[in-house]
């Protein structure tokens, strides 16, 4: 049977997946009882409630008309996620200036096709803005230059 709303069906599956993960990773925790709950009581309780809702969402999607699945903007999603991970790695080692330039270049590569002079201006602005705010304004212990 094909679901009438692929979007809702997948939403239901997502809830079920989170609930299943919740149950799986709590499998070794002790339950205890309602009067004294051990570590595993709440995780199981919440996971079961989520499981029930997930099943309800998925089953309803079988019968009720609704939107299908939307396409994903993979390019910005992947590139921006990679940018964040890279920046998290760079920030403590290479400092604010390098990170700001990397973020400016990578963001532009991900989505906005600005010309080279504009990218340079953007990067310069980001460097000034971040150093002023985070280094001088908030005095964060983040290096400005690579060390």
Q: Which residues contact 98 (CB under 8 A, 6 or more apart)?
A: 90, 146
Least distance in angstroms from the C-beta of 32 to another protein: 8
Q: Exposed (0-12), middle (13-18) or buried (19+): which is 96, by Cβ within 10 Å?
A: buried
Q: Which residues contact 137 (CB under 8 A, 6 or more apart)?
A: none
- Does position 84 bind another protein by CB under 8 A? yes
Show the binding pattern over residues 12-41: x = contacts another protein (CB under 8 A), - = does not: --xx--xx--x--xx--xx-xxxxxxxxx-
- Does position 63 bind another protein by CB under 8 A? yes
- Does position 136 bind another protein by CB under 8 A? no
Least distance in angstroms from the C-beta of 145 to another protein: 15
Cα–Cα distances (Å) from 81 to 87, 126, 136, in that order, read 10, 19, 28
Q: Which of positions 97-126 make contact with another protein (CB under 8 A)?
A: 99-100, 103-104, 107-108, 110-114, 122, 125-126
Least distance in angstroms from the C-beta of 30 to another protein: 8
């Amino acid at each position: 049977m094909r679901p009438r709303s692929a979007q809702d069906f997948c939403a239901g599956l997502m809830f079920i997946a989170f609930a299943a993960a919740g149950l799986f990773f709590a499998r070794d925790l002790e339950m205890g009882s309602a009067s004294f709950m051990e570590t595993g009581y709440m995780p199981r309780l919440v996971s079961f409630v989520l499981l029930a809702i997930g099943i309800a969402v998925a089953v309803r999607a079988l019968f009720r008309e609704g939107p299908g699945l939307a396409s994903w903007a993979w390019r910005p999603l992947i590139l921006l996620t990679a940018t964040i991970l890279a920046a998290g790695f760079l920030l403590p080692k290479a400092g604010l200036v390098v990170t700001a330039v990397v973020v400016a270049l990578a963001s532009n590569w991900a989505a906005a096709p600005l010309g080279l002079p504009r990218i340079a201006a953007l990067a310069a602005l980001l460097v000034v803005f971040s150093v002023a705010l985070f280094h001088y304004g908030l005095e964060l212990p983040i290096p400005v230059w690579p060390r």
